[in-house]
Amino acid sequence: MDSVVQQYLEQFGVCEATQRFLAKPQKMLIGGTWIAQGDRESFAVIEPSTAGVITHIPLGTMADLDRAVEAARQQFDGGAWRRLKPLERERLLHRLADLIEANATELAEIESIDVGKSVANARDVDIQGTVDTFRYFAGWASKLHGRTVEPSLPGDYVAYTRKEPIGVIGVIVPWNFPLQTMAWKVAAALATGCTTVIKPAELTSLSTLRFAELVQEAGIPDGVVSVITGRGRDIGAAMAAHPGIDKITFTGSTEVGRTVGHTAASGIKRLTLELGGKSPVLVLDDADIEAAAQAVANGIFFNSGQVCDAGTRVYVQRGIHDKFMGALIEHTRSLKIAPGLDRDCFISPLVSALQMDRVASYIEAGRREGAELVHGGRVLDRPGYFVEPTIFAHCRSGMKIVREEIFGPVLVTTPFDDLGDALSQANDSPYGLAAAIYSNDLNRVHRLIPQLRAGTVYVNAHSTIDPSMPFGGFKASGFGKDLGPEQLDHLMESKAVWITLR
């Protein structure tokens, strides 16, 4: 670990468990065995508030992947996991949730140090969300069943359906909510009786490696959950093509999702894609301006804008435009920019130098295209990857900053006169992950909801996520759902059984 990271940990007094975890060599969990780097390549993990090296993770090989898949297959095709009764699966998932909760401080610190994110948000959102997700899906394990059917065919039959787990699930996740996004996929898969091979994002594998220790501690049989760290273009691509994997559940960019989709389709693999977004926000002239401004600012700047369903394009009705923009800027000014481990931090650094440069290039593009910069716009001159929360006004629909996913703290705003026109602009995007409306007029709100082409519509809120509600996109934001009972349908096959009675 670089001394600058060590000083950072000391400055904010991270717990002993976190220090111990970060100090030891990182290993992958493959089929119940911890695999050290050995002669594999490794990847330096960088702490985003200081730009110092935290540790190194091994880069998994194709042989590692084969071993992980084989172990998952064995457990699925008749191993201890397949023979477990539903209530026993439920009990194990609850035990895992309890362990995650018991280690929440450490996991939140690891997530903050690895991603750069606010430690308070990591605790309240990422880790609590992970615990809730395991508890929610634990309850489903004993409640999955088919239907008995009375057919109208001549003759006598017993006809029923069975819900059967799909098999080995390849889990590929991005770096913005590493533990929580993984949990959405793994908790549901385990509840149905599937087994899993997880590939975290190379930038942020640490919390998933700590999670793998808790999986063992919970008593989940070896091979049911393997974690292979490695590069997306190598291990991720090989997972999409692997004949031993029955389904890929992928969260990440639309660009990579398209490639994964092509490969998975050629192997007739089941597939869920949770992809990028450019979510629109409509602020109507009857909205509570102060509350809307605060929620809109949080809706884009939470996790420094590195949120797939962040409200990135705001359309404000002309009558309240200036007042709303004033309130928005004032609230944004109050958001503290600080290192992730600072408990008061709201705007944390971006995950990497690459992401910081990418966001900076979009800000530059906005300036060049003539959008009016009304707040922020600078990369901070300090160690780490800090970009000010940035707001552009009077943006036009063709601009690059309006069309493309930036995945950083950059908000584009546009006034509107006609609600129909604003709706067209809101829907004028290849993406369809989420949308938000701020208004107190129920008639207008209910008429707008069905017309917004998005997987989630928030009203007077943003990014309210709960395991009981499905999450997933329309259009180029993907297909299939995570969370809610809807996700379970994507993890089970329906088998029709016909029995002739004589």
Residues at the site binding ligand NAD, with contacts judged by CB under 6 A: 172-176, 181, 199, 201-202, 232-233, 236-237, 240, 251-253, 256, 259-260, 274-277, 308, 405, 407, 433, 473, 477-478
**Three-state SS sequence of 156-188:** CEEEEEEEEECCEEEEECCCCCHHHHHHHHHHH
Nearer to ligand NAD, 81 or 177 (CB): 177
274 is catalytic: yes
Asked if 319 and 418 touch (Cβ cutoff 8 Å), the reply is no
Cα angle 27-33-35, degrees, rounded to a multiple of 5: 30
Least separation in angstroms between residue 454's CB and ligand NAD is 11
DSSP state of 337: B
Q: Which residues of 250-264 are buried (b: 16+ CB within 10 A; e: fewer)?
A: bbbbbebbebbbebb
392 alpha-carbon distance from chain centroid: 26
Tokens describing residue 221: 């049989």
Least separation in angstroms between residue 245's CB and ligand NAD is 12
Nearer to ligand NAD, 90 or 202 (CB): 202
Least separation in angstroms between residue 58's CB and ligand NAD is 15
**Three-state SS sequence of 44-112:** EEEECCCCEEEEEEECCCHHHHHHHHHHHHHHHCCCHHHHCCHHHHHHHHHHHHHHHHHCHHHHHHHHH
Nearer to ligand NAD, 126 or 222 (CB): 126
The rounded distance, in Å, linking the Cα atoms of 95 and 183 is 14
Least separation in angstroms between residue 202's CB and ligand NAD is 5
Q: Is the dihedral angle over the CA atoms 205, 100, 301, 464 positive or is it negative?
A: positive
Closest CA to 117 of 127, 132, 130: 127
Q: What is the CA radius of gyration of the chain?
A: 23
Least separation in angstroms between residue 221's CB and ligand NAD is 25
Least separation in angstroms between residue 181's CB and ligand NAD is 6
Which strand ranges, in their side-by-side order, compose the sheet holding 279-283?
A: 372-375, 390-393, 410-416, 311-317, 279-283, 434-438, 456-459
The rounded distance, in Å, linking the Cα atoms of 375 and 332 is 8
Nearer to ligand NAD, 176 or 429 (CB): 176
The rounded distance, in Å, linking the Cα atoms of 346 and 304 is 8
Q: Per the residue annotation, which of 109, 111, 274, 405 is the catalytic one?
A: 274
Nearer to ligand NAD, 128 or 253 (CB): 253
Least separation in angstroms between residue 416's CB and ligand NAD is 25
Q: Which residues are catalytic?
A: 274
